[in-house]
Amino acid sequence: MKMTQKIVISGLTAAGKTTHTKLLAETLGFRAVHFTDLLLGELRLEAGSADQVWFSRLREIESMRAGGFADRRADESIAALLETDEPMVVDAVLAPWLHPGRQINVWLGSDRASRAWKCSVSRLPGVISTDDSLRLLDEKDAFTRAYLWRERKVDLYTDRSCFDLVLDNSHLIGEPTLDAAREGIRELHQVLLAYVDWRLGRQGDALLELADTAAPGLAAVVRMDVDQLTLPHTVLASRRI
């Protein structure tokens, strides 16, 4: 069987999907595909930064998504892309459930506080406080959760059965600053890239090497989980310990 050249990154709002999709695609030399860009195209709205769009125009976009027609067309575009031979990293929350296939499915977890911090350091329009961030995060996640339940009777908040790798970056931002956010991104990228390289057959010992060279917190976690790599569903919780 031909080895997959597709990686799908899923997660809740502001978990870092867009950032890590771009970074991983750039590192691998793959195409980066973002569900938000496809959806905005279906809605005839100007594309832009995913977080900027969602936080500045959330209610407008959600009113235009009523009925789910634009979402379904964007989902169909994702499904068609996943059937091609083109190597790509896809940023799409629901694709692992809606389009099961041979792609590598990654869940990027992050708690509400960490995601609110990300919104704060990103200086998103319309977000002037942590309370604003949490309110908008909850509204968008609730919309997405309801859509997935209608389509597949699956709970976005609890079902991780379709994922090959489950990551948690909740504690990789030690404080709500841009420098801390960048360092957290760098540390998580090491783990994500090492796992994907292993799955793509590029570096079979990449995770073992990471365990010896990474920051102490991540190294301990990688050592703890590396024996599980023969299992179909691997959990690497990238928490500082």
Is residue 80 situated within a structural domain? yes
Question: In this predicted model, what pLDDT tens digit does every residue of 48-74 receive, in sequence order?
Answer: 555 566 666 666 777 787 777 888 999
Give per-residue pLDDT as tens, 141-160: 998 999 899 988 999 999 99
**Average per-residue pLDDT in the chain?**
79
Q: 82-86, 147-151, 208-212 — which one is most confidently predicted on average? A: 82-86
**Per-residue model confidence (pLDDT) at position 122:** 66
Residue 159 is classified by DSSP as -
Measured N-to-C along each axis, helices 112-122 and 130-152 cross at an angle, to the nearest 10 degrees, of 120
Domain assignment present for residue 201? The answer is: yes
Q: What pLDDT does residue 88 have? A: 98
Does residue 35 register a pLDDT over 60? yes
Choice between 139 and 29, residue whose per-residue pLDDT is larger = 29
- Give me the domain span that covers residue 42: 6-235
User: pLDDT tens-digit profile of 91-116?
Assistant: 999 999 999 888 999 999 998 988 88
- Mean predicted confidence (pLDDT) in 195-208: 75
CA 59 – CA 64 distance, rounded (Å)? 9
Per the confidence metrics, is the pTM higher than 0.85? no
Question: What pLDDT is stored for residue 227 in this prediction?
Answer: 46
Residue 7 pairs in a beta bridge with 89, 104
For position 52, what pLDDT does the model report? 63
Residue 241 lies in a domain: no
**Overall domain count for the chain:** 1
Q: What is the CATH number of the domain that holds 205?
A: 3.40.50.300
In this predicted structure, what is the pLDDT of residue 241? 27
Do the domain assignments include residue 117? yes
Q: How many CB atoms lie within 10 A of CB 218?
A: 23
So what's the pLDDT on residue 232?
Answer: 38
Task: Judge whether 91 lies within some domain.
Answer: yes
Hey, is 10 helix, strand or coil?
Answer: strand
- Whether residue 240 lies inside any domain: the answer is no
What's 39's DSSP letter?
H
List, for residues 162-197, the tens digit of each pLDDT value.
Answer: 998 888 888 777 777 778 788 888 888 988 898 888
